[in-house]
């Protein structure tokens, strides 16, 4: 077990994982500082969501280590893994609320599943979490009755219901209007600070993400291309980082998927 002086809650060391014969993560090494917002960014298909799944122990690594608070998740049995997962909260893409449960019951779900707390205390906790995200008054609504922005905030309340050490937030800004987007971004920052959370944020919304992040990791092809402070990432001369951060159409990430020469496909010797 790591000592409190260990500055990193998550420490991934030379971790490899793949689906089938290919590698989604190729000797990946990265560190997530405690009590900070770490943005996990990069081109699509780079391994960001897969990395979150490895941290939660959803997949088993082919090789390497995934240390959570000094414990290697890759070698844990089910009981040990479930104990570690109770220290993690997840906000899934688009909220992933249970459609047949009310807002209140969605947030209460992890408390009822993973604690023996009396229902009266669960009620107080749920109302406090919903109040923290500004939606205490929406507790009796169903997911079909709330907006997309509200659904993300409800999902965030559910993710922090058990007061986790780590909260992983996967694409919280997709499809939101500018007001809801800014509100969600500010909320992630405020809750991280007020609750002393460690947050891993996966997002392609560059401006808002960089406005709340302390640490940024750029992933591409299952490896870290660069990591550092927001200023370091903005000033990067790495071609891929520069292309991604500045949303440039030309660069290492090409328009065309790799293919044989055009003339070859058309049966021609050469094309002008």
Burial class (CB in 10 A: 0-12, 13-18, 19+), 136: middle
What do you get for the CA distance between the two ends of the chain, in Å?
A: 65
Structure-token pair, residue 105: 């019951």
Q: Examine residue 118 and state whether it is found in any structural domain, yes or no.
A: no
Q: Encode pLDDT of 163-184 as tens digits.
A: 999 999 988 888 888 888 888 8
| Cβ-defined contacts of 20-23 (< 8 Å, 24+) | 23/222
Q: Examine residue 130 and state whether it is found in any structural domain, yes or no.
A: no
Q: Encode pLDDT of 182-206 as tens digits.
A: 888 888 898 899 888 999 999 888 8
Q: Examine residue 193 and state whether it is found in any structural domain, yes or no.
A: yes
Nearest Cα to Cα of residue 190 among 215, 212, 221: 212
Q: Which range has the worst mean pLDDT, 149-153, 214-218, 263-267?
A: 263-267
Q: Examine residue 67 and state whether it is found in any structural domain, yes or no.
A: yes
Comparing 108 with 173, the larger pLDDT belongs to 108
Euclidean distance between CA atoms 210 and 123, whole angstroms: 35
Q: Which residue range forms the structural domain that includes residue 247?
A: 8-87+164-265
Number of domains observed in the structure of the chain:
1
Structure-token pair, residue 194: 């007020």
Q: b/e per residue, 256-271, with b = 16+ CB within 10 A?
A: eeeeeeeeeeeeeeee
DSSP assignment, residue 215?
E
Q: Is the pLDDT score of 268 beyond 80?
A: no
- At 270, is the pLDDT very low, low, confident or very high (cuts 50, 70, 90)? low
Q: Examine residue 189 and state whether it is found in any structural domain, yes or no.
A: yes
Q: Is the pLDDT score of 38 beyond 70?
A: yes
- At 126, is the pLDDT very low, low, confident or very high (cuts 50, 70, 90)? very high
Q: Examine residue 112 and state whether it is found in any structural domain, yes or no.
A: no
pTM of the model: 0.84
Structure-token pair, residue 173: 């800004």
Residue 17, phi then psi, degrees to nearest 5:
-155, 145
Euclidean distance between CA atoms 99 and 211, whole angstroms: 32
Mean model confidence pLDDT for the chain: 86
Q: Examine residue 134 and state whether it is found in any structural domain, yes or no.
A: no
Euclidean distance between CA atoms 22 and 26, whole angstroms: 10
The pLDDT value given to residue 71: 87
Nearest Cα to Cα of residue 129 among 146, 148, 105: 105
Read off the CATH number of the domain in which 223 is found. 3.40.50.300
Q: Examine residue 92 and state whether it is found in any structural domain, yes or no.
A: no
């Amino acid at each position: 077990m790591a000592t409190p002086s260990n500055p990193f809650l998550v420490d991934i060391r030379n971790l490899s994982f793949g689906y089938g014969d290919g590698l989604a993560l190729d000797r990946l090494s990265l560190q997530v500082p405690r009590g900070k917002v770490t943005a996990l960014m990069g081109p699509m298909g780079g391994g960001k969501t897969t990395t979150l799944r490895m941290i939660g122990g959803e997949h088993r690594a082919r090789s390497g280590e995934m240390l959570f608070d000094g414990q290697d998740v890759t070698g844990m049995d089910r009981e040990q893994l479930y104990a570690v997962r109770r220290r993690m909260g997840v906000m899934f893409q688009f909220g992933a609320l249970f459609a047949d449960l009310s807002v209140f019951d969605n947030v209460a779900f992890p408390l009822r599943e993973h604690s023996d707390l009396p229902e009266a205390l669960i009620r107080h906790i749920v109302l406090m979490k919903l109040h923290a995200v500004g939606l205490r008054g929406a507790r009796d609504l169903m997911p079909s009755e709330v907006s997309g922005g509200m659904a993300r905030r409800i999902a965030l309340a559910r993710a922090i219901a058990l007061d986790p050490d780590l909260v992983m937030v996967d694409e919280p800004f997709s499809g939101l209007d500018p007001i809801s987007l800014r509100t969600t971004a500010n909320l992630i920052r405020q809750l991280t600070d007020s609750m002393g959370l460690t947050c891993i944020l996966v997002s392609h919304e560059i401006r808002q993400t960089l406005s709340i992040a302390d640490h940024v990791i750029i992933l591409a092809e299952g490896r870290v291309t660069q990591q550092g402070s927001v200023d370091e990432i903005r000033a990067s001369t790495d071609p891929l980082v520069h292309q991604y951060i500045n949303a440039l159409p030309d660069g290492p990430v090409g328009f065309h998927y790799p293919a044989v020469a055009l003339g070859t496909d058309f049966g021609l010797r050469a094309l002008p």
